Chains A and B, each alone.
Chain A
Amino acid sequence: MNPFPIDAVAYGNRLRSAPATEKILFAAGAVALCVGFRSLAVTAVVVTIVTAVLRLRAGIGLRDFWGFLWLPSGFILTGVVPMAIEFLDPQTPGVLAAVHIGSWHLGVTSRGLTQALAILASSFGSLSGTLFLALTTPIVDITDQLRRWCVPVLFIDMMMLIYRFTFVLLATAGAMKTAQEVRLGYSTNRLWLRSVAMLASNLYLRSQMRAVSLFTALSCRGYSGELRVLVDRAPWSATRVLGIIGVHVLIGIWGVATRTWGWV
C-alpha cells in the first residue's frame, strides 16, 4: 500500500507516460504566468486550464484535485488574510472598512486588499501548477529530467535517497507502531508519550543501521562515491511542446492586454 496518495496518483494517472519534459514545461509555464502577473484573472484562467487538463487528459477529477489542494490553500488563506488587515492612521485614504479598538484603528485599505489579492493569485496559481506536476509525474521522472539538465549530482542523489528511504522509514515506523499498539503502548496519554519517544529514538538507531547496511550493499556493487544510474533519453513531441508554449503565450498576451487596457 502506498502511504502517499500523491505518489499513488502520480503512478496511476493517464498522463504518467507522457514525457516529463512537456509536463514540467506546462507546470513551469503556469507557475511563471501566475507569479508574473499576480492577477486573479490570469490565475483563474490558469487554474481552469490546469483543472481541465487534469480532468480530461490525466483522468484526475475536480474532487480529487481539490482534495489535494484544500490543505495548502488553507495555509495560503491564513497567510493572506492578516496581510489585508493592517493598523491604520485615521487619515489613511482608501479605507474600505475599519474597526476602532481604543486608540487603535484596524482595517482594510484598497491598496492592502489589492496586494493581498495579488499574493493570493500568485501563490494559489503556483500551487495548482506545482500540484499538476506532482500529480502527473512520479519523482523518478523528475530526477531523470534534472539529470538531463545537468543539475549537480549531489542534489539529485540526495533527492533520490530521501525519496526511496522515506518509504522504508515509514514502513519501519508503521511496523514499530503496530507492535507497540498491540502491546497497549498507546492506551493512555502517558503511555502514548512514552511510546512515541521510544519509537522516535528507535527509528533513529534503525536509520543509522540502515545507512550502514546500504553502504555495505552499495560497496559490493562497486560504489565509489557517486550514485550513477542510467537515464533514458527524453522523448518529447515538438507539436505538443509548441502547443503548450502557444497556450502560455496566449494567456500572457491576454494578461498584458487586461493590465494595459483594462480589458476583461
Chain B
Amino acid sequence: MAVTVPSIDKAAPVTYPSPGLREREVPAETLLEARGVTFSYPDGTVALNSLSIGIPRGRRVVVLGANGCGKSTLFLHFGGVLRPKSGEIVLDGQPVRYDRAGMTRLRQQVGLVFQDPDSQLFASSVRQDISFGPLNLGWSEAKVRDAVEAAIEATQIGDLADRPAHLLSYGQKKRVAIAGVLAMDPSVIIADEPTAGLDPESTARLVSLFNSLHDAGRTIVISTHDVELALAWADEVVVMRKGELLRTGHPTAVFQDPEVLAGARLQQPIVLETFGHLCHMGYIPTDAVPPRNANELAELIGCHCSPQPAPISTDFDALRSGPSHHA
C-alpha cells in the first residue's frame, strides 16, 4: 500500500503549518504505563533504554519505529512475559507484581496478540483454542461459553469455529488469535504488526474489527510500518528509536515533525506530503487542518464530489467514522 513516490526536493524539507488538532484532546487517564523501563537481552543488546510511555485508556494507539527499535520488547513487557531490568510496568496506577495473582490480573487486563498466529494457536479446533484463556481465569463453564461465543461473534469467525487451525487462511488465523485474547475480556488489546502480510481487504476488515472493539470501550495498541494507516486511524502515535521514546502525540502533529521523521527514518504519509506541497504552492491555506486521508485532502482542494466507492475499502477514515463507529 505504501507506494514510494519520489519526493520533491528532499534536501530542503518543506515546512508545514503547525498542526491543527481535529479532535479535541481530552486528557485520558493512563491505563498502562512503562516507567523508566530498561531491558537488555542475554546477548547484550539493549532493547529498551529507560523508556517511559503511557497508554491512555480508551485510545487507539499506533507504535511506530524501525525494525529492532524495541516495539515487540515493549509489548512483551506489557504482557508480563519480560521483566524490566530496571523501572516498572504500571497497570491502572499500580505497579505490576510478578507473582501468580499479579500475573493473572495483568494477563486478564492486557490481551497480547502475536505477529505470527501459528505461535499462538495450539488447539485442534478454533472454538477450543478461544476457550483456553478464559478457562485459565478460573471462570465458570457457563461464563466461559458465553465469553467464547461473544468473542467468536465480535471477530466474525462463526463459520470457522469448528475448524482446525491448519485449514484457516493467514487472515483467518489472525482473527482467531484476536478472538483468543478477546474472550478474556481485556481492557487493552495489544497487537504486534497485525496487518503485516495481510491483503488490503483483510487489512480493512481487521481495522474495522479494531474499531468495533474500540467502540466497545477497549483500548487498542498496534505496531505497524504502515504510516498511512497510522495517520488515518490512530488517536495517538508513539514513535520509538533504539529503545527510546522519540515522540508521542496526535498523528498529524507527529508526521509533520521533520526531526521525528528523520530520527525514526519514517516515511511521511503521502497524503501529508501532498498536503505540504499544496500548501507551499498556495493551493491550500496554510492554516488549514491537515488531512488524514485522501478524501479529506480532496475536500481541502475543493473536490466535494463523493469519491467512487472502492470495491475494497482501504480508506481507514471511512472505517473510522463508518457505521461501526457509534460510540
Contact = CB atoms under 8 A, between A and B. Distances in A.
- Whether both chains belong to one complex is answered with yes
Contact of A229 (B112, B135, B137, B166): B135
B148 A220 contact: no
Interface in B154-181: 162-167, 180-181
Contact of B122 (A160, A171, A220): A160
Interface string A213-226: 11011111111100
Given A210-B119, A213-B119, 13 more contacts: A140-B162, A160-B122, A214-B122, A216-B76, A220-B111, A221-B136, A221-B184, A222-B137, A222-B184, A227-B123, A228-B132, A230-B144, A230-B145
Nearest to A3: B166
Contacts of B148: 230
A8 B8 CA distance: 55
B121 interface: yes
Given A2-B166, A217-B114, A222 B122 contact: no
B81 A219 contact: yes
A69 to B, nearest CB: 24
9 contacts: A140-B124, A140-B164, A160-B122, A217-B120, A220-B81, A221-B184, A222-B103, A228-B136, A229-B131
A190 B108 CA distance: 54
Contact of A164 (B80, B116, B135, B165): B165
A140 B136 contact: no
A138 B164 contact: yes
B29 interface: no
Interface string B59-92: 0000000000000000010011100000000000
A139 B141 CA distance: 23
Instruction: Please list the 5 inter-chain residue pairs (A to B) with the smallest Cβ-Cβ separation, ordered nearest first.
Output: A222-B136, A230-B131, A167-B166, A229-B128, A221-B133
A155 interface: no
Max count, chain A CB within 10 A of own CB: residue among B80, B81, B137: B81
B127 to A, nearest CB: 7
Contacts of A210: 118-119
A220 B141 contact: no
Interface residues of A, number: 31
Interface string B101-119: 0011001100110101011
Interface of B: 76, 79-81, 100, 103-104, 107-108, 111-112, 114, 116, 118-125, 127-129, 131-133, 135-137, 141, 144-145, 148, 162-167, 180-181, 184
Contacts of A171: 166
Interface in A76-91: none
A222 B104 contact: yes
B131 A220 contact: no
Q: Is the interface of B mostly helix, strand, loop or mixed?
A: helix
A164 B121 contact: yes
Interface in A182-219: 210, 213-214, 216-219
A168 interface: yes
A143 B112 CA distance: 28
A218 B81 CA distance: 10
A217 B107 CA distance: 11
Contacts of A216: 76, 81, 114, 119
B140 to A, nearest CB: 12
A163 B162 CA distance: 15
Max count, chain A CB within 10 A of own CB: residue among B81, B108, B114, B125: B125
A207 to B, nearest CB: 12
Contacts of A168: 118, 166
A139 B124 contact: yes
B112 A227 contact: no
A165 to B, nearest CB: 8
Contacts of A227: 122-123, 132
B284 to A, nearest CB: 46
Contacts of B122: 160-161, 164-165, 214, 218, 227
Contact of B107 (A160, A163, A214, A221): A221
A11 interface: yes
B167 A2 contact: yes
Contact of B129 (A138, A219, A222, A229): A229
B123 A229 contact: yes
Contacts of A163: 124, 164
A229 B132 contact: yes
B79 A220 contact: yes
A160 B123 contact: yes
Contacts of B80: 219-220
Nearest to B190: A220
A231 B129 CA distance: 11
A164 B117 CA distance: 13
A217 B115 CA distance: 11
A160 B123 CA distance: 6
A13 to B, nearest CB: 14
B119 A217 contact: yes
Nearest to A11: B167
Contact of A223 (B111, B118, B121, B136): B136
Interface string A160-186: 110111011001000000000000000
B141 to A, nearest CB: 7
A220 B112 contact: yes
A68 B103 CA distance: 49
B52 to A, nearest CB: 23
Given A163-B124, A167-B166, A230-B127, A222 B119 contact: no
